[in-house]
Amino acid sequence: MEIANPSNTKDILSKHNLQLKKSLGQNFLIDNNILNKIVETAELTEDDTVIEIGPGIGSLTQKMAETGAKVIAIELDNRLIPVLKESLNVYNNIEIVHGDALDVDFSELVDGSFKLVANLPYYITTPIIMRLLEEGFDVEKIVVMIQKEVGERMVASPGGKDYGVLSIGVQYHSNPEIAFVVPPTVFIPQPKVESVVMDLKVKEEQNLEVLDEEFFFKVVKSAFHQRRKTIRNSLSKAPYLNLNRDLIDQALEEVGIDPRRRAEKLSIETFAQLSNALFNLTGGE
C-alpha cells in the first residue's frame, strides 16, 4: 500500500479521526520522490539497523523497511501507535516503540551500530542531533530532514554569520553535508520554512587533538557568547569559564591569535589549539 500521497494521508488521518499537532512538529511528508531520495541518501542495506524518530503514519518507515534493513521507529504520540501497527503490519522487519526520542536509550534498542534516519520534529532538531553525537552512541550515519537555516549553520565555515557553536559541535563529531533542499509543498500541513536533508557521516576517529573535550566546548561557547566582541573580551567575560586576562593573553600569544579577532573567524583547529593552551595554563579549572 502506498501511504505517502496527499489523499491517502488525509484518508488515514480522517479514518482515525486525527488532528495533527503543531506542538509535536507534525508535518507529514506526502511526496514519494523525496522519500526515495532520503532512503537513497541513507544507503540502506539489509545488514543495516535504522532508528527512525517520529514515524508519523509510517510513510518513511515503510520505504526503509522495503530495503530489507531492520527499522526501529520511535513515536511519542500515542494516537499514532495503532495507526502505525495497522499500516505496517505486513512488515516483519519493523519495530514500533512508543517513547520520547529525547529520553530513549538508543543503545538498549540496538545491538551494535545503527543509522539514524528521520523527518525530524523541528522543535527537537538540535537537542536530538547533539545528543546522538555527544553521548557516545554507536551511530555511523545520521540522515535527517531539518530546517534549512539550521542545516546551513551545521555546514558553515569560519567567517560568516552562520558559523558558530552548532557548526563546531556538529563538525567536531561528523562530516556534515546538505544532501538536498526540500520545499514546504511536500508536507501536510506545509511548514513556513524550507527544509534540507542532511547527511552527517559520523567520524570513526577524532582527527582533532583536543586535551579535554568538555573544556574545549566551554571555550567555544564562551568565545561565541557575545559574537560581536573580540576573542580576548568574550573569553574574559565568559559565563562558562573563569579566566584572567593575563592567562588569556598568554594563550592567545602562544597559539598566534590576534586578540582583536572575533570567534567567528577562528577555525575548529585554531579553537582546539587555543583550548589546549588554556587547559595547560589553568589545569582545566
Point out the annotated binding site for S-adenosyl-L-methionine. Answer: 27, 29, 54, 75, 100, 119
Q: Which of 237, 241, 220 is nearest to 229 (CA)?
A: 237
| Rounded (5°) CA angle 59-64-67 | 140
Question: What's the rounded Cα separation, in Å, for the pair 117 and 246?
Answer: 47
Q: Which is nearer to ligand SAM, 116 or 238 (CB)?
A: 116
Provide the minimum distance between the beta carbon of 163 and ligand SAM in the complex, in angstroms, as a whole number. Answer: 27
Name which of 26 and 276 has its Cβ closer to ligand SAM. Answer: 26
Print burial letters for 33-52: b (CB count within 10 Å at least 16), e (below 16). ebbeebbebbebeeebbbbb
Output the smallest distance, CB 219 to ligand SAM, in A.
31
* Residue 74 or 88 with smaller CB distance to ligand SAM: 74
Which residue lies nearer to ligand SAM by CB, 187 or 217?
Answer: 187
Joined together, the cell numbers standing for residue 145 give 530532514
Interface residues with ligand SAM (CB under 6 A) are 24-29, 53-56, 59-60, 74-77, 80, 100-102, 119, 121, 124
Residue nearer to ligand SAM on the CB measure, 102 or 193: 102
**Least distance (Å) between residue 4 CB and ligand SAM:** 7
Alpha carbon distance, N-terminus to C-terminus of the chain: 60
Binding residues: 27, 29, 54, 75, 100, 119
**Helix 165-173 with 125-134: angle, nearest 10 deg:** 40
* DSSP E strand boundaries for 107-191: 114-119, 139-147, 174-182, 187-188
Cβ-closest residue to ligand SAM? 54
Question: How near is the Cβ of 282 to ligand SAM at its closest, in Å?
Answer: 38
Distance CA 72, CA 48 (A): 11
Helix (H), strand (E) counts: the chain: 12, 9
